[in-house]
Structure formats: C-alpha cells, structure tokens
Amino acid sequence: MPAYKAKLLLVEDDPTLSYVMKDSLANAGFEVVHCPDSESGWQQFMKHNFDVCLLDVVLPKKDGMHLAKQIREKNEAIPILMLTSKSMDDDKLAGFKSGADDYITKPFNMQELILRLEVFLRRTKKKEDDTPVEFKLGNLDFDYNNLVLRGGAKEHQLTQREADLIRYLCLNANRVLKRDEILMNVWGKEDYFLGRSMDVFITKVRKYLKEQPGVELQTIHGIGFKFVYNN
C-alpha cells in the first residue's frame, strides 16, 4: 500500500457526509482521522501529528471555531480549513479570526476540496526553487521555510497564511499591490469573504512589524496596499 501524502483531522458530525468525505479523501491519498464533535477532535489532535485540519463550523458541544482557536494556540503553523454553509457568512469571518486559514462552502465538490487541501500541503513544504525565503525586516529576521519572525529575545511563530502573505509583500516591495492581486497570489482566488479575511491577516502582519525601522505596510485607499521595505 502506498504511503499516505498527509494525515488529516476531519471533524464533522453529519454521518453521511463524513463517510463520503473520509472515503474520497482516503482514495486521494490522505490518512483521515474522523471525529463527530469538537471534544473528541481536540483529544485526537493532541494524540497525533496532523498535517492539516478540516473542521465543520456547526458541531455538538462546542463549535468548530472554538476548536480552531484551541488548535491554533497549540500549533501556529498547521493549515485549518473550515466547512461552512452559504447562510453562515458571519461564521466565515469569525472562523478567520479564530485561526482558520480558509473555508469551503457546503455543498462542495470533493475534487475542489482535495485540490484546496493539496495547495495548502504544497505551501507547507520547504521551497526548492531559487526564490528568496529569508528576509531582514527592520530588526526582525523572517524565515519563510520555518514560519518564524525572530528579533532579539522575541520570536513570532507564524501560520502558513501569514508567512505566505509576508513573503509575497517582501517579493513585491515598494510597489502598489491591488487587493485582488494579493488575493489571487496568496489565497488563490478572490471573493468578498476572502477579502475580509485578508484584512484580518493584514492587521496581524502590521502588529508583527510595528515600529520596525524601514518597514511600513501602507494602505492605498480604494486600491490596495504598498509594502515599503528598505533592506
């Protein structure tokens, strides 16, 4: 039997949907650990080393956003995708704030879900091309491969999405970047809720880089952003 490409935590309470997802993901090469609620999901997360988490928002006992927050506090880097319904737009935004990297809306195409998961897994692997992966940001050293911002005694462990965003800004420093350009290159697509998610991540990046000399993330109203970066 071929080795699994990744170990995935699936937390979904719908038994029919869970069966279909687990079967499809296994056929696509994922080792899937399924849990029907957030409490058992947290227990399994603490027992195993997962590569990616797929969490439903609406769960028994405690919702998926609570679980996402728990997971994010324990592991800053692991990709977290939320499953939401079309009528739950507020939950998409709340999910991003709780630590989720992306969402997929029910009903969804399994092939699309698998492709989205594979994109995240590729991003978590170290880059083997010649594109720079280390940058000096003021007094901070940004190590993209290890998802870390270091400076003196301080160290910020980044999520994959935060690292992807900072790296894209560094590679496109000192020019105006349109919002849709950032969304397409960092998130892989653009829509209203991903745009709101981007604003959440922009705020986080600004917090990390606050008061760093020669570094400023400017808002260009009505257009996008400009990352002023003098290395």
Residue 56, token pair as written in the block: 């439903």
Q: Where are the beta strands (DSSP E) in 3-50?
A: 6-11, 30-35
Candidates 57, 97, 79, 67; CA nearest to 198 is 97
pTM over 0.85: no
Q: How far apart are CA 102 and CA 47, in angstroms?
A: 24
Can you give the CATH number for the domain in which 175 is found? 1.10.10.10
The reported pLDDT for the residue numbered 1 is 38
- Domain's final residue, options 81, 105, 124: 124
- Answer yes or no: are the C-beta atoms of 165 and 205 closer than 8 Å: yes
Of residues 77 and 130, more confidently modeled: 77
Do 26 and 101 share a domain, yes or no? Answer: yes
Structural domain range at position 73: 6-124
Over residues 180-189, the mean pLDDT reads 84
Q: How far apart are CA 221 and CA 112, in angstroms?
A: 33
Q: How many residues does the chain have?
A: 231
Do 28 and 101 share a domain, yes or no? Answer: yes
Could you give phi then psi for residue 150, rounded to 5 degrees? -120, 145
Straight-line distance from the first to the last Cα atom of the chain, in angstroms, rounded to the nearest whole number: 49
Rg (C-alpha) for the chain, rounded Å, is 18
Do 29 and 83 share a domain, yes or no? Answer: yes
The reported pLDDT for the residue numbered 112 is 85
Can you give the CATH number for the domain in which 48 is found? 3.40.50.2300
Do 115 and 138 share a domain, yes or no? Answer: no
Do 21 and 108 share a domain, yes or no? Answer: yes
The model's pLDDT over 196-221, given as tens digits with 9 standing for 90+, comes to: 889 999 999 999 998 888 899 999 99
Over residues 163-185, the mean pLDDT reads 90
